[in-house]
Amino acid sequence: MILYSIVDLHALTIPRDAKVLQKSKVEMTIILMACGIDPKKCLIFEQSKVSAHLELSWILSCITPIGWLSRMTQWKTKIQEQKNIRSIEDIDVSSGSDLGLFGFFAYPVLQAADILIYKSTHVPVGDDQIQHLELTRNLAEKFNRFYKENVFPLPQTILGM
């Protein structure tokens, strides 16, 4: 069975209007169905309806070094686009910048939880997500090593076009 998750928790990494979020979830479901997703062979679900996503995300965040997250290319690119910001300490949250929000900084951990919770072995990603999948593998290795058990497989990249 192929799983399609409407990742509504990821949409919360920066503040959004609740009505817009609800509408977006419905639209995404319609788009997936219009693409020919066969509900008899696939499962479409809302990420937020499966509490284990947040539970595993918390567990993984407790073992994720801040340095690993601060080296994420997408994060660094966003930082470099801003004037006078060289590190996390330079971010002025009062300016309204989303860069200072923890959800924006730590969403790769939630993404790792999304992948690992289903013990995925292969994950389709675009170029911009390769580093996040590497983080996922690193977290799976760290978790497995700590508990001395292979709980999570190390997912392989399927590079999208």
82 or 108, greater pLDDT: 108
Here the tokens at position 69 are 């997250």
- Report percent pLDDT > 70 for the chain: 86
Q: What is the pLDDT of residue 19?
A: 95
Amino acid at 93: V
The pTM (predicted TM-score) of the whole model is 0.85
Residue 161 has pLDDT above 80, yes or no: no
The confidence band for 12, taking pLDDT boundaries of 50, 70 and 90, is: confident
Please state the rounded mean pLDDT for residues 43-47.
94
Please count the other Cβ atoms lying within 10 Å of the Cβ belonging to residue 69: 18
Helices (DSSP H) in 2-158: which residue ranges?
18-34, 52-61, 66-70, 73-81, 102-116, 130-147
Q: Which of 18-32, 42-56, 82-96, 126-140 has the lowest mean pLDDT?
A: 82-96
